[in-house]
Amino acid sequence: MNATRRNLGFIGLGIMGAPMAGHLLAAGHRLEVHTRTKSKAVALLDQGATWCGTPADVAAGAEVVFTMVTDTPDVEQVLFGGGGIVTAARSGLIIVDTSTISPQATRDFSARLAQHGVALLDAPVTGGDIGARNATLTIMVGGDTAAFEQARPVLELMGKKIVHVGASGAGQMLKACNQILCALNILGVSEALALAESSGIALETVIDVLGGGAGGSWALANYGPRIARGDYAPGFMIRLQQKDLRIVQEAAQAAAIALPGTALAQQLFRAVESLTGGGDLGTQAMMKAVRQLSNRPPPANDAPRGA
């Protein structure tokens, strides 16, 4: 694939998918889109994207189709269900799945698609809603090397670090490792801020002083300020993080690997999920569980649902 105008498709236009698709459109590519809730596509349609009624319609005219949907069954439905991509896919089509799903399922999907001459790249992303909007995502890609090289130029429109990490499923496995780091980082941020808060130290001071030291992290820099102002609106929802951590634990069980810290993070996220609307809060709402364990009331600016 070169830098000329291409026929692309994008399926799934949520918090991450919509800005990612927008970068493809802004680069001058022809873009056909589909998502379960058509209203989420309005901004892209206004910018020149074309609406398709089914995933099959997206695939019919595309060279590369991106998917960004919620879970493994959703990807399977988009690929193989009624009106799915495989019903209209031509040999040579490249599907780039940027969702976070099961590595084993990805390998199975890849084998099934190969029977139709279709290549599947598993290309989960990290960097959150901020990275999606700013085209600074890290994209970890598993699958056929030749297909990756063909897709690389358009992947580079959405991310800053694009790496082919191995065969089919390798991208999803590396994303599982990433989700361990994300879960334990936000736990560390929440505990540090809770201790500072109990001592009367302003959370903004904690973020400013510690952010440049050995304890600094992406989570502290990006989620710390949201916690400080009581903002739990989702960049990434807890219920989706929990879905990812279930994938992590399935992979760990298959490999006979113990992940006690991940299990603890899952339980704390579950405590937040028990709150009304808790699963739809951003992962920075881990702070709510840490405060509850210490029987400390939230500050006055702490919004109950991140509003």
The model's confidence at residue 297, banded by pLDDT at 50, 70 and 90, is confident
274 domain-assigned: yes
Judge contact between 65 and 84, C-beta under 8 A: no
Q: For residue range 161-173, what is the model confidence (pLDDT) as tens digits?
A: 999 999 999 999 9
pLDDT at res. 4:
84
Positive/negative CA dihedral, 62, 68, 70, 76: positive
**What is the mean predicted confidence (pLDDT) over 129-157?**
97
Q: Whole-prediction pTM value? A: 0.91
Q: Is the pLDDT of residue 1 over 70?
A: no
**Cα–Cα dist 75/231, whole Å:** 31
pLDDT at res. 307:
42
Q: Is the pLDDT of residue 306 over 70?
A: no
Q: Which domain-ending residue is among 145, 167, 189?
A: 167
Judge contact between 8 and 32, C-beta under 8 A: yes
**Cα–Cα dist 208/223, whole Å:** 13
Q: Are residues 82 and 180 in the same domain?
A: no
Q: Which domain-ending residue is among 138, 167, 196?
A: 167
- The domain total for the chain is 2
Computed over every residue of the chain, the mean pLDDT equals: 95
The model's confidence at residue 304, banded by pLDDT at 50, 70 and 90, is low
Q: Are residues 158 and 211 in the same domain?
A: no
Residue-range definition of the domain harbouring residue 255: 173-293
Which helix or strand (DSSP H or E) is residue 156 part of?
none
Concerning whether 175 is annotated as a catalytic residue, the answer is yes
Q: Are residues 270 and 160 in the same domain?
A: no
174-195 b/e with 16+ CB inside 10 Å = b?
bbbebbbebbbbbbbbbebbbe
The CA R_g of the chain, rounded to the nearest whole Å, is 20
Q: Is the pLDDT of residue 303 over 80?
A: no
Q: Are residues 33 and 150 in the same domain?
A: yes
Residues 6+ apart with CB under 8 A from 35: 11, 12, 13, 14, 17, 41
Q: Are residues 155 and 100 in the same domain?
A: yes
Residue whose structure tokens are 């009367």: 200
Q: Is the pLDDT of residue 124 over 90?
A: yes
Q: Are residues 118 and 218 in the same domain?
A: no
Q: Are residues 190 and 138 in the same domain?
A: no
The model's confidence at residue 3, banded by pLDDT at 50, 70 and 90, is low
Q: Which two tokens stand for residue 32?
A: 């056909």
Q: Are residues 123 and 63 in the same domain?
A: yes
Q: For residue 125, what is the domain's CATH number?
A: 3.40.50.720
Judge contact between 67 and 9, C-beta under 8 A: no
Which of 38, 40, 175, 288 does the annotation list as catalytic?
A: 175
Q: For residue range 55-69, what is the model confidence (pLDDT) as tens digits?
A: 999 999 899 999 999
Q: Which two tokens stand for residue 64?
A: 């590369």
Q: Which two tokens stand for residue 120?
A: 């599947």
Q: Are residues 187 and 147 in the same domain?
A: no
The model's confidence at residue 235, banded by pLDDT at 50, 70 and 90, is confident
